[in-house]
Structure 1
Amino acid sequence: MNATFREDLLQLNDLLQQTANYAGDFLSRINELPVSRQLPAFSPATLPEKGMGAASALELFDNRFGDHLTANAGPRYFGFVTGGVTPAALAGDWLAGTVDMNPGDRADVSFQVETETLVLLRQLFSLPEEFLGCFVSGATMSNFTGLAAARQWLGLQQGVNVAELGVGAIKDVKILAATPHSSISKALSMLGLGRNALVLLPTLPGREAVDINALKAWISEHPGQPFIFSASAGTVNTVDFDDIAALAELKKEHTFWLHVDAAFGGFAAVSPRYRHLLNGWEHADSITIDAHKWLNVPYDSAMIFTRHPQLQLAVFQNTGAAYLGDPAANFNFINYAPENSRRLRSLPAWFSLKAYGAEGYRDLVEQNIRLAQQLGEAISRSSHFKLLAPVRMCVVCFTLETEERNRAGHIALFLQKLVKRGVVNMTPTTYKGTPGVRAALVNWRTTAQDIDKVINELETVAADISDLSAIIENN
């Protein structure tokens, strides 16, 4: 054994304790840490010939990167739709790395952990038992997997086995949507269907939800043509929902695959106040739900639920690998999703679901929605801002009260200053042609006090921008 490996093995308990202390110190300061920083120019990295050992590597990490760590998992990171990491999920994640099991091994207890976790998730979301669930790396791969099964289904409508013959064997592929997430078109590109296969339908007035009458008109203009419909269950800008119940009714009369992108909107199912937004999703063919969003487990983790495991098997099965067994004879998750090798990403979810239960997640979702509404109400009262859309769930979409011709530049300057100050992180967006700002609240740590701090920060930065604009215009 290499001498450095041997030394680290002998000092393993001390190393784990040092790492735990470092992590504990970081988390104890996460409420006060900046949520964003301006990074310096780092010196080039060099690979040492002789290793320094794990303890020295930890020290080097702290010296090189420690002062630049940010509170992305903290209570005022409203940028990407990123949950924090619950204490239980963190414990599960550490153990996942410790045991380092591949849940693709049916003989391993990790297979049982993954199976059991998916049962818990179906119960959390009140999904029928006939839905097969699989863990994937994120909503992008979940959408990819659902649309891959849809592609196989679409081929069969034309008498073609796409998994065997290739995507060139199917003709006139159409994927319809109103306000799809960018990962939908990315998935279409990866699947060989092409971004141009995406047909954008009109939305309802003042909404991001599909106009069902426009969909009916398209169907009338393409009689008998099978297609895929990608429904939004929580759009990125305004958490708007397509009328899934109406789409489910249309499926009774017309031939199409219904994919529901519920990356974070699927968590409406845990709340009696909001689950009506998902009425009908039990009739969907495939459903995307993210775990590193509102489930508040670490990156990277999501689930795909489908009604058609045989179509998934046709696409993702491993053939010609005797050591993996017969994919048709023995169920194995590796034959139903893209990845063969993956970490035990179900374990953080299992820990968190068992630790906090349905009540914990119901309280988390409803608390985040209340706080988003609190932020939205403050913005609507402000002379510096205006809401671009109602606060439906956990996202606040707003813009600056400024002249339209200057708005894009003012938004850019506003966010630049906001990020530099590091109290809160938000991202730029465009809503129906208007430059704006988007704040997404899905973190278990966020409190009303955080919202008060955020509101004060927004007002302060907006006032600075107004003063600067006045000076520029006067000169």
Structure 2
Amino acid sequence: MNKYLKNDLDNIDCLLEKVKSNASEFLKDIDKIATFPKNSKNYEPTKLNKEGLGGEKALEEFMQRFYKGIVSSAGSKYFGFVTGGSTPAALMGDWLVSTFDQSATGRDNSSASKIEEEAINLLKELFGLPQTYSGTFVTGATMANFVGLAIGRQWVANELGFNISQKGMYSIPPIKIISSAPHSSILKALSMLGMGRDNMHYMPSMDGREAVDIEALENYLKEINGEPCIVVANAGTVNTVDFDDIKQILELKKKYNFFLHVDGAFGGFAACSPKYKMLVEGMDEADSITIDAHKWLNVPYDSAMQFTRHPKLQLQVFQNNAVYLGELSENPDFVHLTPENSRRLRALPAWFTLKAYGQDGYQELVERNCALAELLSKKIEKSKNFKLLSVTRLNVVCFTINVGENNAALEQIQQFLKLVNEDGRAFFTQTVYKGMPGIRAAISNWRTEEKDIEIAWEVLNKAYKRYLG
């Protein structure tokens, strides 16, 4: 055995204690650690050492060269990209995932598959989904949308009399995908699936909303005269967390031939709260659903779930034929249901956090984050420096800087955010809403409290004074 491997094996307890010490130090200081890297361009790459360094020296080099560039994206004042953090229980689970290093592919190879099955069932309870849905863990909302749209593609092809997973797309006309404000990952999935970004048919939104105009949607479905297609409904748009009226779309489904995919990456968590669950009414009757775990479930990257009513179609798309995997059973292994053959046990952090905090814990988290978003909105409404671009429906605040009579240009937003983010105490991202450049504050971290909003508000106003004061 290599001398460094042997030495690290003999001293694994000591190495893990050092890692634990560094991790504990990071978590203790997370509120003080910058939300934006200070010296992101000052890294000089090194060459591969012929003999190696051993685990302890590698850790020392990492801490010396890279640790200062690690940001508190898992902290309470990081409001970009709808990023959650990792609850204590989720972190416990994630550490065990790497320790156990289980392959979560076969149902009978270890208890890994049982954990995934149970975690999926717990999540169905959390979101009010019937047990008739099947579900699997994937790497993120992009891959969950990919799986849902792949199932939809298979459904459309079957309606046309083709098995697209066997014959390919060469014998069918382009598949129409319909939505009003699809997330960029939907378009990426269309590209990967061979359906093409240009086959997204954009429907008008309601006035002052990002939600689809139901009348316009029905008119289009009439126009295509029964041609099978895919409708993508939003359960929480990225800019304003707007929701399509899923119940009305389901009424259209009684008259028109389409597959309904609901992108509920983070808006699906509205189902956790009696105060907000009416926003996702009807989601439990969709053909497929995307929900992201490393957003509002607050588990480590990378983790999401896809749910569907059509597991047989899913199997047609993703089955992996190999002798060493054995025969397909009535309850197929997860390797036959997702794009990845290699699957880490990402269900374990979700299982831990769901068991630890339960329905009440996630209701409190969702409602607290939404209340904090409302608090920030009220500050903006009263301010002369900023103005809202949209009402705040859930946990994302969409606003802009006040530059006088004209709306702020994208370049101005970028310059302003550079000042904000370089402060290091809070992090926001840019957006464009209804043609107007703006700023997004996405509040979805379990740590975030009112004091964090106060600090972020101070940072925003300080940057405004520097930029326009």
Using the size of structure 2 for normalisation, the TM-score is: 0.98
Aligned to 2:468: 466
Aligned to 2:2: 2
Matching of residue 149 in structure 1 with residue 151 in structure 2: yes
The letter for the 2-side match of 1:93 is: D
Please give the alpha-carbon distance, in whole angstroms, between the structure 2 residues aligned to 1:175 and 1:276.
26
SS at match of 1:430: strand
SS at match of 2:398: strand
Alpha-carbon deviation of 1:326? 1.5
Please give the alpha-carbon distance, in whole angstroms, between the structure 2 residues aligned to 1:258 and 1:343.
29
Using the aligned pairs only, state the percent identity: 50
Aligned to 1:247: 249
Structure 2: where are the runs of 5+ without partners?
A: none
Distance 1:78 1:44, change over 3 A: same
Matches within 5 A, 1:55-66: 55-66=56-67
Matching of residue 208 in structure 1 with residue 232 in structure 2: no
SS at match of 1:449: helix
Please give the alpha-carbon distance, in whole angstroms, between the structure 2 residues aligned to 1:412 and 1:19.
37
Q: Do 1:410 and 1:465's aligned partners in 2 also have CA atoms closer than 8 Å?
A: no
Distance 1:464 1:315, change over 3 A: same
The letter for the 1-side match of 2:132 is: E
Aligned to 1:442: 444
The letter for the 1-side match of 2:152 is: A
Please give the alpha-carbon distance, in whole angstroms, between the structure 1 residues aligned to 2:457 and 2:269.
26
Distance 1:406 1:337, change over 3 A: closer
The letter for the 1-side match of 2:30 is: I
Q: Do 1:102 and 1:110's aligned partners in 2 also have CA atoms closer than 8 Å?
A: yes
Matching of residue 75 in structure 1 with residue 76 in structure 2: yes
Please give the alpha-carbon distance, in whole angstroms, between the structure 2 residues aligned to 1:266 and 1:82.
15
Alpha-carbon deviation of 1:406? 5.3
The letter for the 2-side match of 1:337 is: T
SS at match of 1:236: coil
Aligned to 2:230: 228
The letter for the 1-side match of 2:16 is: L
Aligned to 1:381: 382
Distance 1:106 1:328, change over 3 A: closer
Please give the alpha-carbon distance, in whole angstroms, between the structure 2 residues aligned to 1:73 and 1:109.
30
Alpha-carbon deviation of 1:329? 4.5
Q: Do 1:135 and 1:345's aligned partners in 2 also have CA atoms closer than 8 Å?
A: yes
Structure 1: where are the runs of 5+ without partners?
A: 468-475
Please give the alpha-carbon distance, in whole angstroms, between the structure 2 residues aligned to 1:405 and 1:388.
10
The letter for the 2-side match of 1:162 is: I
- Aligned length, in residue pairs: 466
Distance 1:128 1:216, change over 3 A: same
Alpha-carbon deviation of 1:464? 1.1
Q: Do 2:148 and 2:288's aligned partners in 1 also have CA atoms closer than 8 Å?
A: yes
Q: Do 1:83 and 1:293's aligned partners in 2 also have CA atoms closer than 8 Å?
A: yes
**1:357-391 CA-partner distances (Å, limit 9, x unpaired):** 01000000000000000011101111010000001
Matches within 5 A, 1:257-336: 257-319=259-321, 321-336=322-337
Aligned to 1:100: 101
Aligned to 2:12: 12
**1:18-58 CA-partner distances (Å, limit 9, x unpaired):** 10110000000001111002313211221110111111111
SS at match of 1:168: coil
Q: Do 1:318 and 1:327's aligned partners in 2 also have CA atoms closer than 8 Å?
A: no
Aligned to 1:27: 27
Q: Do 2:408 and 2:437's aligned partners in 1 also have CA atoms closer than 8 Å?
A: no
Q: Do 2:235 and 2:262's aligned partners in 1 also have CA atoms closer than 8 Å?
A: yes
Aligned to 1:164: 166
Q: Do 1:104 and 1:111's aligned partners in 2 also have CA atoms closer than 8 Å?
A: yes
SS at match of 2:290: strand
Please give the alpha-carbon distance, in whole angstroms, between the structure 1 residues aligned to 2:153 and 2:138.
18
**1:311-342 CA-partner distances (Å, limit 9, x unpaired):** 000000011x1111122445211111111111
**1:417-454 CA-partner distances (Å, limit 9, x unpaired):** 11111111000100001110011000000000000111
Matches within 5 A, 1:365-380: 365-380=366-381
Please give the alpha-carbon distance, in whole angstroms, between the structure 1 residues aligned to 2:310 and 2:191.
22
